[in-house]
């Protein structure tokens, strides 16, 4: 795709005007327009660049639902201590009872309180019986030492007990319990976004000329007034902001009295995921935080242990410094000529050199890998006005958003969402039109301008937020 700024000429006709094509065929032109104005001005819309056309969910309603499979094995909580008189549970190989909130275990299951000391195991001797709001289990110590017992602190309410396995005697017809994952029902909604723009008839003759490759592999030329291009640039930038910052609400009324029904952005979605407020950036901070996300979920060394980390310019700089400090302190990094120096051309010296490097990706223990990418919205001082006095830049520029774009099969964990046919672009023409001064006998108004109005319903989908997280700078 080639995008050039130039003066209007006779080849820039209504037939190849991008706005007219978008009005006529919005679904066909949607991806192309998104690509054009995401590439325009230094890719200020990274979500569109990463996910656009590849990981999109197009729906027919304003809300969507999905099921997330939970853990197939989970702990059971003690409801109350059923022993009286300070008796030692299991002493002298005596049976005792445990009361849990759920009917989870059966005779033969071996359970214990999840401790580092694995000797506190008991075997369930009979299927549970109902006892008030819970279930009563008769158990016996899974040991031979008669002096052994379960410490009282592991019998207190809310103590977690888990199943290890099931064991049976010869000739037994019993079998152990099986836990099934409990799917969680989740839902989200789209946000309705609108924008308008007024372009005067005396607007500059500069246009944005675009050459793109169509689905058939052929080249196509299009154009749009530079003033109108500014509208689209701001439009896609606001959509990007919405996908990061939108706060869900159904109670804020619009001018018609109807609620605006705003959906959540990434930051709100991740509030219930892994979040941590930090004071100082270090390589160990990044490693420990990523380990928290993957621990017990994805096997060490698995390809899925990769994260992309969105941050601002200060965050990118601090990431480089943290990894650089780690490599230097470990003695792994020797800044040799082949790493640090590159030949360049200069009128000042025949043997001119460039010095420097930057870390944008890092690998850590157990197969963890992360790569930073720039989020211009985090650097935007027009919307982020809380300044870190130590840097002179917004605190937001130091936010790190860890995103797992992987998923089952070819499905991404994160998708752009939009409502089918919700992208609507309309021109309201006066004496001027998008293609120059109009020759029409009837126009919508007598002004020397035309208006553009855009409407769309968009959102962001994160299938499993626990595979993502945020590091948030501490505000002093």
Residue 391 inside a domain? The answer is: yes
Q: For residue 320, what pLDDT is reported? A: 95
Angle between helices 226-245 and 26-43 (to 10 degrees): 90
Q: For residue 57, what pLDDT is reported? A: 80
**CA dist., res. 404 & res. 408, Å (int):** 12
**CA dist., res. 325 & res. 330, Å (int):** 8
Q: Does one domain contain both 131 and 51?
A: no
Q: For residue 383, what pLDDT is reported? A: 87
Q: Does one domain contain both 111 and 62?
A: no
Q: Does one domain contain both 61 and 80?
A: no
Q: For residue 1, what pLDDT is reported? A: 42
Q: Does one domain contain both 144 and 199?
A: no
Short-list 410, 34, 427, CA closest to 243 = 34
- List, as own/partner pairs, every contact residues 122-127 make where C-beta atoms lie below 8 angstroms and the sequence separation is at least 24, other chains included: 122/90, 122/98, 122/150, 123/167, 125/95
Q: Which residues pair with 189 in a beta bridge?
A: 63
Q: Does one domain contain both 243 and 145?
A: no
Region at 132 (left for phi over 0; alpha for psi -120 to 50; beta for the rest): left
Q: What are phi and psi of 232, to 5 degrees?
A: -65, -40
Q: Which two tokens stand for residue 81?
A: 């201590």
Q: Does one domain contain both 331 and 471?
A: yes
Q: Does one domain contain both 307 and 412?
A: yes
Query: What b/e readout covers 43-75, taking b as 16+ CB neighbours within 10 angstroms?
Result: ebbbbbbbbbeebbbebeeeebeeeeeeeeeeb
Q: Does one domain contain both 326 and 389?
A: yes
**CA dist., res. 42 & res. 254, Å (int):** 34
Spacing of C-alpha 102 from chain mean position: 34
CB 123 within 8 A of CB 138: no
- List, as own/partner pairs, every contact residues 292-297 make where C-beta atoms lie below 8 angstroms and the sequence separation is at least 24, other chains included: 292/469, 293/402, 293/404, 293/466, 293/467, 293/468, 293/469, 294/366, 294/368, 297/466, 297/467
Q: Does one domain contain both 340 and 461?
A: yes
Write down which residue in 117, 138, 166 finishes a domain. Answer: 166
Q: Which residues pair with 372 in a beta bridge?
A: 309
**CA dist., res. 41 & res. 48, Å (int):** 14
Q: Which two tokens stand for residue 213?
A: 């490759």
Q: Does one domain contain both 293 and 410?
A: yes
CB 128 within 8 A of CB 137: yes
Q: Does one domain contain both 198 and 247?
A: yes
Spacing of C-alpha 357 from chain mean position: 29
Residue 462 inside a domain? The answer is: yes
Q: Does one domain contain both 280 and 399?
A: yes
Task: Find the domain containing 260 and state its range.
Answer: 47-70+186-203+230-476
Q: For residue 227, what pLDDT is reported? A: 64
Residue 433 DSSP code: E
The number of domains in the chain is 2
Does pTM top 0.85 for this prediction?
A: no
Q: Residues of the chain whose pLDDT is less than 70?
A: 1-44, 53, 67-73, 171-185, 199-228, 331-339, 407-410, 435-441
Short-list 150, 329, 245, 373, CA closest to 321 = 329
**CA dist., res. 290 & res. 260, Å (int):** 36
| Tens of pLDDT, residues 271-315 | 988 999 999 999 999 999 999 999 888 889 888 889 999 999 999
Q: For residue 208, what pLDDT is reported? A: 58
Q: For residue 129, what pLDDT is reported? A: 92
Sign of CA dihedral 282, 48, 407, 193: positive
Spacing of C-alpha 27 from chain mean position: 26
Q: Which helix (H) or strand (E) holds 283?
A: helix 283-294
């Amino acid at each position: 795709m080639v995008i050039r700024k130039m003066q209007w000429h006779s080849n820039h006709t209504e037939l190849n005007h991008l706005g007219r094509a978008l009005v006529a065929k919005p679904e066909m032109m949607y991806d192309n327009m998104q690509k054009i104005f995401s590439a325009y001005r230094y890719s200020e819309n990274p979500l569109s660049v990463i996910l656009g056309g590849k990981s999109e969910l197009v729906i027919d309603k304003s809300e969507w639902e999905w099921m997330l499979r939970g853990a197939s094995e989970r702990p059971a909580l003690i409801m109350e201590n059923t022993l009286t008189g300070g008796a030692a549970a299991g002493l002298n190989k005596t049976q005792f009872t445990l009361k849990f909130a759920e009917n989870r275990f059966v005779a033969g299951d071996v359970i214990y309180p999840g401790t580092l000391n694995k000797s506190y195991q008991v075997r369930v001797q009979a299927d549970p019986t109902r006892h008030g709001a819970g279930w009563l289990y008769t158990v016996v110590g899974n040991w031979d030492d008669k002096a052994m017992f379960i410490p009282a602190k592991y019998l207190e309410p809310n103590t977690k007990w888990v199943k290890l396995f099931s064991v049976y005697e010869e000739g037994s017809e019993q079998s152990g319990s099986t836990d099934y994952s409990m799917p969680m029902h989740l839902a989200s909604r789209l946000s309705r976004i609108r924008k308008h723009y007024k372009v005067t008839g005396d607007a500059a003759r500069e246009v944005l000329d675009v050459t793109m490759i169509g689905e058939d592999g052929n080249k196509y030329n299009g154009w749009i007034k530079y003033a109108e291009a500014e509208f689209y640039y701001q439009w896609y930038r606001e959509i990007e902001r919405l996908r990061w910052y939108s706060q869900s609400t159904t109670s804020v009324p619009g001018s018609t009295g109807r609620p605006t029904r705003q959906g959540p952005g990434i930051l709100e979605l991740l509030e219930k995921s892994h979040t941590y407020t930090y004071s100082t950036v270090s390589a160990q901070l990044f490693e420990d935080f990523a380990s928290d996300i993957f621990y017990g979920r994805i096997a060490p060394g698995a390809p899925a242990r990769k994260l992309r980390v969105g941050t601002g310019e200060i965050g990118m700089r601090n990431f480089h410094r943290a990894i650089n400090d780690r490599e230097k302190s470990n003695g792994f990094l020797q800044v040799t000529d082949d790493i640090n120096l590159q030949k360049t051309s200069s009128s000042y010296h025949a043997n001119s050199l460039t010095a420097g490097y930057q870390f944008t990706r890092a690998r850590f223990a157990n197969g963890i890998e992360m790569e930073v990418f720039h989020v211009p919205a985090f650097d935007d001082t027009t919307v982020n006005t809380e300044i870190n006095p130590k840097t002179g830049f917004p605190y937001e520029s130091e936010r790190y958003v860890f995103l797992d774009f992987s998923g089952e099969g070819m499905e991404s964990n994160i998708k752009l969402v939009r409502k089918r046919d919700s992208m609507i672009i309309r021109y309201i023409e006066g004496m001027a039109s998008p293609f120059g001064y109009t020759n029409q006998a009837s126009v919508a108004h007598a002004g020397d301008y035309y208006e553009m109005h855009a409407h769309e319903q968009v959102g962001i989908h994160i299938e499993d937020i626990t595979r993502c997280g945020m590091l948030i700078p501490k505000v002093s």
